[in-house]
Amino acid sequence: MAGARRVLWSGGIALCLLAVGCSGGGGGSSVRAEVQAALDRRAAVVLGREGNTYDVPLAQWSYRLTSVDAVGDRATADARLSYRVQGYDSVPVTASRIVKLDRDEGGVWSVVSEGPGDGAGEQLWDQGKVEAVRGERSLVLGVGEPAERLRSFADLADRAVPAVSAAWGTGWARKVVVVVPASLQAMAGLLGSPADSYRGIAAVTTGETGGRAPADRIVVNPEAYGMLGEVGRQVVLTHETTHVATRAHTNAATPLWLSEGYADWVGYRDTDRTPRQAAPELQSAVDEGRLPAALPTDADFGFGTDATRLAQAYEGGWLACRMIAGRWGEERLNAFYRAVGAHGKRAGAVEGALGSVLGVSLPEFTEDWRTYVKEQLAS
């Protein structure tokens, strides 16, 4: 699933006792230059493969100082970190960081600590030493996990990439980065949200929707993921890899029933799971005579909401995409997805694509979907 994708970074401490960073005075400018030099030295150390990022294949790491507040020989800097993972990030990833510095007797500033701003998500290396395992089509980064477990994620991702290409096509990077934190709490720390938001969620994909995605990351919830069987683990990794592949064609115009339903369709495409096996919550509703009246809304996919409602939303979106693939063909399903995204804004996107690609109206499609759900799931 591709929720919780954007983390806003902010922070800073406004101490202006020495007017450092709070005015354009010469003293302030001098300290800013000295602190920037300290950040440059830290960047060189990181690129020299020292510290918690030692095993990460970094191609770039730099800081741009945005403000600094100093009191005596101590300072707090607000800086913009830019980094790029070799072979995976097309452009640098950026994140705001709060850096603590001390000045020695010789007047040289050095970094004491670094972390996210207030309310911001952590970086994986904030949580400990990062271990990296390289697959043929994947890079797995983990903290607190044995190498053999990280290797299992690389194997799953290496199978997911060609499976997604077979369904969607090869016009994407065809490689993924999988992040495996040590716990649900650690996952929530990376995403900057409460742990309860992701309880029971096996993985999410982070990244910007639409256009060129510089750094998609599949972030795993090790607790929920560990409860899945072999098929379930593969379905999840293939689902999340689908989000990476479709990112450039996914934007504000794309409803979640389509983006999540399509990812589930690709995830289940090479399995033998029947609708009743893959959609148990929706099947229960149908058996009780509660056939959904409309396609799932974006609100139905909210993390931290009712688990049954969330499951039924995913299952309903999957069955909608499965119906399109079965009735109009897989090429039309892909064309429909792209046509919705090409609209650029939500209003009229689905309706227009249904008409131009599938030749039906939204009311007709909805009624066909309701009939399909009942036929596929009825006892």
What pLDDT score was predicted for residue 121?
84
Q: Where is the domain boundary, 103, 121, 139?
A: 121
What pLDDT score was predicted for residue 199?
87
On whether the pTM is more than 0.75, the answer is: yes
Q: Rounded to the nearest 10 degrees, what angle do helices 256-269 and 147-168 cross at?
A: 110
Per-10-residue mean pLDDT for the chain, 379 residues long? 36 27 47 97 94 94 96 95 93 91 96 87 95 97 95 98 98 96 95 89 78 74 94 97 96 97 98 96 96 96 84 97 98 98 97 98 98 93
What SS3 string covers 18-29?
Answer: CCCCCCCCHHHH
Whether residue 161 is contained in a domain is answered as: no
**Residue the block writes with tokens 């003293």:** 27
Whether residue 317 is contained in a domain is answered as: yes
Give the number of C-alpha atoms closer than 13 A to the C-alpha of residue 149, restricted to the C-beta side. 15
Whether residue 282 is contained in a domain is answered as: yes
Q: Using one digit for the tens of pLDDT, what is the confidence trace for 307-338?
A: 899 999 999 999 999 999 999 999 999 999 99
What pLDDT score was predicted for residue 6?
31
Whether residue 235 is contained in a domain is answered as: no
The number of folded domains in the chain is: 2
What pLDDT score was predicted for residue 13?
25
Q: Where is the domain boundary, 101, 121, 141?
A: 121
Contacts of 315 (CB under 8 A, 6+ apart): 278, 279, 280, 281, 282
List, in sequence order, the alpha helices (H) in the chain.
26-47, 147-168, 184-191, 222-225, 230-246, 256-269, 275-278, 280-287, 307-327, 330-343, 349-353, 362-377
Phi, psi of 257 (to 5 degrees): -65, -30
Sheet holding 203-206, edge to edge: 131-134, 138-142, 176-180, 217-220, 203-206
Whether residue 239 is contained in a domain is answered as: no
Q: How far is CA 12 from CA 7, 95, 117, 190, in A?
A: 17, 14, 7, 19
Whether residue 275 is contained in a domain is answered as: yes
What are 333's two structure tokens?
């399903």
If phi over 0 gives left and psi between -120 and 50 gives alpha, with beta otherwise, what is residue 304? left
Q: Please give the biggest Cα pair distance in the chain.
A: 80
CATH code, domain with 114: 3.10.450
- What is the residue range of 99's domain? 26-121
Whether residue 32 is contained in a domain is answered as: yes
Q: Using one digit for the tens of pLDDT, what is the confidence trace for 133-162?
A: 999 999 999 999 999 999 999 999 999 999
Q: Where is the domain boundary, 77, 96, 121?
A: 121
What pLDDT score was predicted for residue 1?
54
What pLDDT score was predicted for residue 8?
27
